[in-house]
Amino acid sequence: MLDNNIRYLQLAFNQDLGTAMNALPRITRDPRILVEAGTPFIKREGAHGIATLARRWPGIVVADMKVADGAADEVSMAAEAGARAVTVLGNSPVETLRFFIAQCKALGILSMVDMLGVEDPLQVLRPLYTPPDVVVIHRGRDEETNRAKMIRYRQINRIRSKYDVFISAAGGVDLKEARSAVFNGANIVVVNLVNPEDPWGGIRTTEDIGALSRQFLETIS
């Protein structure tokens, strides 16, 4: 589903369905672009929101469920709605992570382990029977307000030395950060679609989303 020779742009919707439906037609149609139903979006819109994105977007839709328990059911729920990738929290119990990866594999969708708040991703990965498809190195939205908190790219080489996985970089990514992410070995760069008044980094919904998405693609290629 993903090609190790390609760098991908993942555009994340965290607002409501109306905002997403307004922005989606303005995104460049390109197989290198993944569309994410963000966690706040899913909490507002539920499985219906995921399903609507999946019907409107021809490529991969990521359900950022941040699963913490009940992995098999939640993965099935996302897959039934049309998601082709799902996230789980890396600090979930090891049993949850194992169930999550196994269920994703059984249903033919991508397993993404989000390392938000995880100090050492290798400690999360070692006890797993099978590694996930994607490891997400993530600086949280709240962490963006702390200038000392950076996306920890040094983790990428440590992970790659042990596991053959894709690496995704997330957390207030702008063009400069996207360039740093791919330079440091990330396969996927996650960029938030944000409101004009939001303090977080990303693409403003009032901006030319098509032109900016093409600019991001050029930057990470």
Over the stretch 153-169, which tens digit does the pLDDT of each residue have?
889 999 999 999 999 99
At residue 43, φ and ψ (nearest 5 deg) are -65, -30
| pLDDT at position 35 | 98
| pLDDT at position 68 | 98
| Maximum distance among all Cα pairs of the chain, rounded to whole angstroms | 45
As a three-state string, the secondary structure of the chain is: CCCCCCCEEEEEECCCHHHHHHHHHHCCCCCCEEEEECHHHHHHHHHHHHHHHHHHCCCCEEEEEEECCCHHHHHHHHHHCCCCEEEEECCCCHHHHHHHHHHHHHHCCEEEEECCCCCCHHHHHCCCCCCCCEEEEECCCHHHHCCCCCCCCHHHHHHHCCCCCEEEEECCCCHHHHHHHHHCCCCEEEEEEECCCCCCCCEECCCCHHHHHHHHHHHHC
| pLDDT at position 145 | 57
Q: How many CA atoms lie within 13 A of 175 on its CB side?
A: 10
Lowest mean per-residue pLDDT among 22-26, 140-144, 149-153, 198-202: 140-144
pLDDT tens per residue, range 48-92: 999 999 999 999 999 999 999 999 999 999 999 999 999 999 999
Question: Hunting for tokens 């139903």 — which residue is that?
Answer: 37
Question: Hunting for tokens 């789980």 — which residue is that?
Answer: 88
Task: Report how far residue 87's alpha carbon sits from residue 104's, in angstroms, rounded to the nearest whole number.
Answer: 10
Structure tokens, 14: 């965290």
**What does pTM read for this prediction?**
0.95
Structure tokens, 161: 């030395």
Is the pLDDT assigned to residue 174 strictly greater than 90? no
Structure tokens, 2: 């993903």
Task: Report how far residue 190's alpha carbon sits from residue 168's, in angstroms, rounded to the nearest whole number.
Answer: 7
Structure tokens, 128: 């797993």
Domains of the chain plus CATH, in order, are 8-220 (3.20.20.70)
Q: How does residue 146 score in pLDDT terms, banded at 50, 70 and 90?
A: low
Is the pLDDT assigned to residue 11 strictly greater than 90? yes
| pLDDT at position 149 | 65
